Structure 1
Amino acid sequence: MMTNTNLIKRTVETIRRFKDETQGNIAIIFALMTIPLFLLMGFAIDLQQVNTAKNRVQFILDSAVIAGAREMQEGKNDTEIKTYIENYFKSAMKAQGKGTDCAEPVATIASESQDLSVKVRCAQPTSIMQMTGTKELNFSVTSASTYGIGKVDIAFVFDVSGSMGGSKMSALKSAADTAINVLVPADDDGTTGEVRIGMASYSSMVDAGDDYFFKATGQLPIRTYTFSYDETYESGGDWEEVCQWKKKRGKWKWTCEDEWVPEYGTRTVTETKTINNTCVKERVGDEQFTDEDPGPFQWIEAAEAYGSINWRGNVSWYTESCNPIGPLPMTSNRDKLFDYIDGLNASGGTAGHLGIAWGWYLIAPDWDVVWPAGSDPYPYDEPDSAKAMIIMTDGEFNQEYDTSNGDSFDQAEKMCDAIKEQGIKVYTVAFQAPASGQAILNYCASGDDFAFTPESSEELTEAYTKIAQSISDLRIRY
């Protein structure tokens, strides 16, 4: 019995010693594993910092490449472009101040294809990895651009209603001139691709111009309108003996005399009014909100003359009119563009939906039957091409003629929907416009970044400059 008791005690003691030794071993193993786990976590943190730095450098380099491509558009030589990219990149990296150390970017320019490639090598300091002797991690970033779009059709749409007079019109002309200088540089030799710009203005109506009125309306600028009305006239009569008291030489006498007694009838009278007028209104019918070419049953409606009887019983004529500034079909000729802008003046109401329609017609492929050779718009599916519109107003759309599809605001919405469905980029400028004017232009814009609401002449110039640069960027692919 004693022997069994001792055996049990020895067994329990052995188990207790094994347990203590096992716990010690686990502690040692855990301690040994903590170090590599800590290093792995540190490596992950450092790699994440490098990835963040690389994304930041990539964004800055992409921006530098786009800026360099713009310099190329303006005709700068290779040395000037490379210097500009280097300075742009260095300034941007210094401004972000994140401790990433980069060498000077190396730019490669292919003059014939207008391709631009830039590469830069950078080093990002480490934190935890320094414990292993790795003080920094190196990475490189590359960005490139090419003229992915060589052809751009652009339509400028100007509000020339009466409220645009004075300083507003001066500000608009200056801002539009600036945009032209960006889109069609003075020293552009044509190697940067083809940018063509058309211009349309609107007030109470749109002036289709002497050269395009007939093609758009099917009518001649000089035309005659008629007004018919019924009038009462003396159709005949007879001599009849008429007896009555008459006073002669102070005495009343019963006198009988033959007098003419007229008879009256009614006849229709037609008067005419000949006008020389190229103003146009809406297109009516199934094609009202499309860019189909004009023709039978889908002509643009011409301004008209109306006759009426005034308070004196005479015929008065009212002739619909507009600010007589016809459209400028698309051109790359800077002089023609500047001359058009310089000729803008203000008068009339604000039929904004008509201006939007004619801006579309300027760049619509089916309207090639209207515009002269060289101004015929590219097809929507033309390879390496893009289309853009810039719609401007300072007021609310408040004048319409065909009300079957709503007022000017409603019709503008339908027109803009159809335009954007064709892939046309729509930029809008609501210059000191009321809330309703801003609302319709915000609706028409291709996005929030495409809508501008300048309140001063400086902001107007800035808006047109940004739009012009954005359109130029349509031609850069990186």
Structure 2
Amino acid sequence: MLNTAIFSRLRAAAGRFAKADQGNIAVLFGIAAVPILTFVGAAIDYSRASSARSAMQTALDSTALMLAKDLSNGTIKTSDINTKAEAYFRALYTNTEARGVTVSATYTENTGKGSTIKVNGSGNIPTEFMKVAGFPKIGFDTSSTSLWGNVRMRVALALDVTGSMSSDGKMTAMKPAAKALIDQIGALAKNTGDIYISVIPFAKDVNVGASNYDQSWIEWSDWDAANGTCSNTYYKSQSSCLSAGKSWTPKNRDTWNGCVTDRDQDYDTKNTTPNSDYHTKFYAEQYNACPAQLAPLTTDFASLKTKIDSLTPNGGTNQPIGIAWGWQSLTQGAPLNAPAEEPNYEYKKVLIVMSDGLNTQDRWPSYGNGQTQFNGAIDARQRIQCDNIKANGVIIYTMHVNTNGDPTSSVLQYCASGSDKFSTVTSSSQIATAFSAIGTSLSKLRVAK
């Protein structure tokens, strides 16, 4: 009887316990807290490991680059590579949480396609949360590779020589800065042919050289119309002469001063090799502010510096014509016939554009009058042009020398191959620093894979 009563009470208590729900939330939270905290803790631990790995990648990239420079310059022996790699890395790696960090470097000698230095790194992060789940640490590793000796560089330097460059000491400051850049880039060459440089002075037009007057890639229709005499000297223009039923005789083309203006659209935005179609040819113009003759790609850097010394400021601003001929100088085939590329080398092509103002004039009078650009028409052509150049694999650096407080050139910003490749300087004294920064960037391109 007693046993039956006890059993009945226990059964009733069990029923009440099964129906009770006052503490369910606390119980469920207690059960769920463990996996929630585990997941949050794992995310924190993995974030710490990711940060340590990212810092290691940055340090390894710089280490590989510095080792490549040392090896290419002969300042270290191959037997010292690991010691030097360790020293560079330790000076650069700033993460304080990583443990068991190791660094090693492997050098592969040039076999005709360049020398390689590969730097490997590894380490681990002690965990704070995951260790309760049996993971006391998170390991990570990464590497960086630099390749040099098979990388050759071709650089076009398009320089604004318009009339406004005469103010605020800009031309005076630009000349030594540009010559120093040529020295800086030229010093990267270890063998003849490693580095080629061209110089393209530009205003409204570019001077391709008066001796080219008999070349098939020049279109003479506009020049012939503007430079000649009528059989009746009363008529001064070709159109009025012909309308009066008279004959027009163009001047001898050997009197041309060498200047060319924009090609017909859309060839003004392309580097198409000229052919029998006159639209593809370059229009001769007797521009009265014709700049110094351009210098195609060469390894004679002394002649380029002499060219820069000869520059004088005059004329309106047409950045697209300087950009077009900078691109042409990097292009094989007529008119400038860049040297052939050897198959065992990688070639990096660079266009540097320095201008002190906004576009004001080109071949089309409706686009600008030499003082003002109308409705952004020249910039619109330039944007298309720069898109085509970058799609062609050419890296573009641009510099806006802005000493007059003009709006920052949005089209030069657009043309640059990234925000780090555009610079604006507000005084002539900054030109040298800006050119030097470009040279430093190019030195990294020269050795970086």
Partner of 1:61: 60
What's the RMSD between the two structures over aligned residues?
4.5
Is 1:359 matched up with 2:357?
A: no
1:284–1:402 CA contact under 8 A, matched in 2: no
* Residue 423 of structure 1: aligned partner: 393
Question: CA 1:353–1:180 in structure 2 vs 1: closer, same or farther (change >3 Å)?
Answer: same
Unpaired runs of 5+ residues, structure 2, are: 236-243, 369-376
Moved more, 387-396 or 140-149: 140-149
Matched residue, 1:290 = 270
Aligned partners of 1:38, 1:411: CA distance in 2, in Å? 58
In the alignment, does 2:48 pair up with 1:49?
A: yes
Q: Which residue of 2 aligns with 1:345?
A: 312
The letter of the residue matching 2:336 is: W
CA distance in 2, matches of 1:471, 1:291: 24
* 2:284 counterpart letter in structure 1: A
Q: Secondary structure at the match of 1:364?
A: coil
**Identical aligned residues as a percent:** 25
Does residue 445 (structure 1) correspond to residue 416 (structure 2)? The answer is yes
Match for residue 117 of structure 2? 116
Q: Does 1:376 align with 2:350?
A: no
Opposite residue 449 of structure 1, the aligned amino acid is D
1:20-51 residue CA offsets vs partner (Å, 9 max, x unmatched): 9999xx999x9999889977875664454233
1:82 to 1:159, Cα distance in 2 relative to 1, 3 A: farther
1:11: which partner in 2?
Answer: 7
**Deviation at 1:278?**
1.1
Distance 1:37 1:413 in 2: 52
Q: Which amino acid aligns with 2:199?
A: M
Query: In 2, Cα distance between the equivalents of 1:230 and 1:269?
Result: 10
Match of 1:142 in 2: 143
Question: Measured at CA, do residues 124 and 350 of structure 1 come closer, stay the same or move farther in structure 2, by a change above 3 Å?
Answer: same
| 2:181 counterpart (179, 182, 189) | 179
Letter in 1 for 2:339: D
Cα drift, residue 199 of structure 1: 1.6
Find the aligned partners of 2:248 and 2:207 in 1 and give their Cα distance. Answer: 29
Q: Note closer, same or farther for the CA distance 1:74–1:428 as it changes in structure 2 (3 Å cut).
A: farther
Q: What's the counterpart of residue 301 of structure 1? A: 283
**1:212 and 1:371 in contact (8 A); partners too:** no
Deviations 1:138-192 (A, max 9, x none): 5443322224972333211100112223631233233333433443316x3229x
Distance 2:379 2:10 in 1: 96
Cα distance in 2 for partners of 1:55, 1:139 equals 10
Shift of the 231–68 alpha-carbon distance from structure 1 to 2, 3 Å rule, reads same
One-letter identity of the residue aligned with 2:294 = P
Q: Which runs of 5+ in 1 are unaligned?
A: 233-265, 305-319
More helix by share: 2
Instruction: Provide the secondary structure at the position in 2 that maps to 1:109.
Output: strand
Would the alpha carbon gap of residues 64 and 284 (structure 1) be closer, same or farther in structure 2, given more than 3 Å must change?
same
Aligned partner of 2:434 among 456, 459, 463:
463
For 1:192-223, what per-residue CA distance to the aligned partner results, in whole angstroms no more than 9, with x for missing partners?
Answer: x833222211123211124545434267xx99
User: Equivalents in 2 of 1:218, 1:35: separation in Å?
Assistant: 81
Residues 328/101 of structure 1: CA separation in 2 closer, same or farther (3 Å cut): farther
In structure 2, distance between residues paired with 1:86 and 1:456: 42
Aligned residues: 413
Aligned residue identity for 1:344? L
Match of 2:352 among 390, 393, 403: 390
Change (3 A) 1:132 1:417: closer
| 1:19 CA drift (Å) | 8.1
Structure 2 residue aligned with 1:236 = none
State the alpha-carbon separation in 2 of the partners of residues 416 and 43 from structure 1.
Answer: 47
Describe the SS at the equivalent of 1:144: strand
Secondary structure at 2:181's aligned position in 1? helix
Aligned counterparts of 2:309 and 2:174: Cα–Cα separation in 1:
10
The 3 A distance-change label for structure 1 pair 396 and 102 is farther
Displacement of 1:114 after TM fit? 1.3
Instruction: Find the aligned partners of 1:396 and 1:371 in 2 and give their Cα distance.
Output: 27
Deviations 1:76-106 (CA, angstroms, capped at 9, x unpaired): 444687676544422322xx35333565633
User: What is the CA-CA distance between 1:125 and the residue it aligns to?
Assistant: 4.1
- Is contact 1:149–1:386 with CA below 8 Å preserved after alignment? no
For 1:45 and 1:268, the matched residues in 2 are separated by 89
CA distance in structure 1 between the partners assigned to 2:344 and 2:12 by the alignment: 87
Distance 1:102 1:432, change over 3 A: farther
Q: CA deviation at 1:9?
A: 2.7
TM-score, structure 1 as length reference: 0.70
Q: TM-score, normalised by structure 2?
A: 0.74
